[in-house]
Structure 1
Amino acid sequence: MSASERVVAEGARRRRRPTKQGTVLSEQLIVGTALRLIGEHGAAALTVRRLGAALGCDPSAIYRYFRDTDELLLAVADELIGRTLSGWRATGDWRADLRDLGLRMHADYLAHPQAALLTCARVTGRTHEIQAVETILGILRGAGFPDGEAVRIYHVFVDQTLSFAALDASTLVLSERARALEVRTWPQTYARLERTTHPHIAATASVLVAEMGRSGYPAALEMMLAAAAARLQHVTASPSGT
């Protein structure tokens, strides 16, 4: 029997007996456990053996819910997207709504940096991702962007957010020693460069040290939103809409 043939309907899953720990397996429980284990062990957590041990079940039981660990990883990715959407409500102000969604998405990924590194580049095709695509395109089309512009801005918005999430997550998963070195390099190296040899760095040193100690995502997001607003003004003022 192949892995795909072992995946069974949800109703049949719920009729399974509880695990050794007294819990009944579900897709949500497996995904939540996988997300926790990824946070503790990184990519090495995604084995049915580790999951089975954590859930108190026979590892083969995982295949009743997921064909393989890659399908489980896509479910973890979709769970992170769902957490961003949970509790979010549109205000009707497209810039405010995109800003809020972007900052939420970035923060939710950084709350799970190991999972962010594994999932940021994946397309899940699952429920929460589909809802996110529909929501963002709806915001843009509702603001008056023509369809082509709406799709392009959606593309830039999502890729920018996920790229910064992956970049910032990669810093968070460094060893304590490596992270401390990162923090020290700006004030101890750049801030001490001589004006005679590095005039531009020396002139901006205090600002540079402060700026490089935080994520560039909020500023990049504002630049993207400003560019999108300028584009909207242009296409709505143009008779051809181009």
Structure 2
Amino acid sequence: MSERVVPPAARRRRRPTKQGVVLSEELIVETALRLIEEHGADALSVRRLGRALGADPSSLYRYFRHTDDLMLAIADELIGRTMRTWRPTGDWVADLRDLGLRMHAGALAHPRAAVLSSYRVTGRAYEIQAVETILGVLRGAGFPDAEAVRVYHAFVDQALAFGALDGASAAMPRPAQEAEDDVWRATYARLPADTHPHIAATARHLVADMRRTSYPAALDLLLSAARARLVAD
């Protein structure tokens, strides 16, 4: 897509596409998400999107100025899917743990899109809602403003980083995933104690643990450290 701007009032398409649907930002984002999961980053082309929507590719400019604008909308939609399902309870540790796990699950539901969007700052509605909500949870727990921002920053970056890491792993072909899992059994579990005593001593735990994500454990460590800092202050 190129840098063309259509005034918001003129964006809505009044006639159905060739497939009998009326274009909207929501439909375009949903279709783009599906194509990314099927074809990767190359799916974000105006030609491929137009073909999938049964629409003239130029009609997409009524909603998005270029593909990066669409990518930001996709990133914001992934945030929105988490925020729409999360409900706070008033227990700040439990609430942030639940939110973090939902963010991670959302990334695994759309692994390729999560990898592409994990480092983006959208400035859009759902991201703004998430920033406001998380800071509100932390300030409500009693964190001073500067500390609330530090914990917020660490919490969000951790969730996004694990989402991208585990998303990239989930997007690998199944044979490649299984081959990497086998390395722990075929290589690490067989290293001799006389040359690698620490690996040999923990081999059975490595084989069991390294095949799954460490995000819940990392999240618990982060929240425990944050709670300890709050109590200490």
Normalised TM-score (structure 2): 0.97
Alignment partner of 1:202 out of 197, 200, 203? 200
User: Which shifted more, 67-76 or 164-173?
Assistant: 164-173
Alignment partner of 1:221 out of 211, 216, 219? 219
1:138-174 CA distance string (max 9 Å, x none): 0000000000000000000000111111111111122
Identity %: 67
Report the counterpart of residue 181 of structure 1 in structure 2: 179
Residue identity opposite 1:147 in structure 2: D
Is the Cα contact below 8 Å between 2:13 and 2:24 reproduced in 1? no
Residues 33-48 of structure 1 mapped to structure 2, 5 A cutoff? 33-48=31-46
1:106-130 CA distance string (max 9 Å, x none): 0101111110110000000000000
Cα distance, 1:49–1:233 mapped onto 2, change above 3 Å: same
Q: Give, in angstroms, the shift of residue 87 of structure 1.
A: 2.4
1:13 aligns with 2:2: no
SS at match of 2:158: helix
Q: Give, in angstroms, the shift of residue 132 of structure 1.
A: 0.3
Residues 152-191 of structure 1 mapped to structure 2, 5 A cutoff? 152-191=150-189
**In structure 2, how many angstroms separate the alpha carbons of the residues matched to 1:125 and 1:187?**
45
**In structure 2, how many angstroms separate the alpha carbons of the residues matched to 1:106 and 1:223?**
16
Residue identity opposite 2:78 in structure 1: L
Report the counterpart of residue 117 of structure 1 in structure 2: 115
Residue identity opposite 1:32 in structure 2: E
Report the counterpart of residue 81 of structure 2 in structure 1: 83
Report the counterpart of residue 234 of structure 1 in structure 2: 232
SS at match of 2:11: helix
SS at match of 1:181: helix
Is the Cα contact below 8 Å between 1:34 and 1:51 reproduced in 2? yes
SS at match of 1:204: helix
Cα distance, 1:15–1:191 mapped onto 2, change above 3 Å: closer
Is the Cα contact below 8 Å between 2:13 and 2:23 reproduced in 1? no
Structure 1, unpaired ranges of 5+ = 236-242
Aligned residues: 233
Is the Cα contact below 8 Å between 1:13 and 1:25 reproduced in 2? no
1:32-69 CA distance string (max 9 Å, x none): 00000000000000000000000000000011100000
Is the Cα contact below 8 Å between 2:10 and 2:62 reproduced in 1? no
Normalised TM-score (structure 1): 0.93
Report the counterpart of residue 144 of structure 2 in structure 1: 146
**In structure 2, how many angstroms separate the alpha carbons of the residues matched to 1:79 and 1:120?**
12
**In structure 2, how many angstroms separate the alpha carbons of the residues matched to 1:3 and 1:181?**
42
**In structure 2, how many angstroms separate the alpha carbons of the residues matched to 1:184 and 1:208?**
12
**In structure 2, how many angstroms separate the alpha carbons of the residues matched to 1:5 and 1:45?**
20
Cα distance, 1:173–1:15 mapped onto 2, change above 3 Å: closer
**In structure 2, how many angstroms separate the alpha carbons of the residues matched to 1:53 and 1:19?**
10
Cα distance, 1:12–1:201 mapped onto 2, change above 3 Å: same
Alignment partner of 2:103 out of 90, 102, 105? 105
Report the counterpart of residue 68 of structure 1 in structure 2: 66
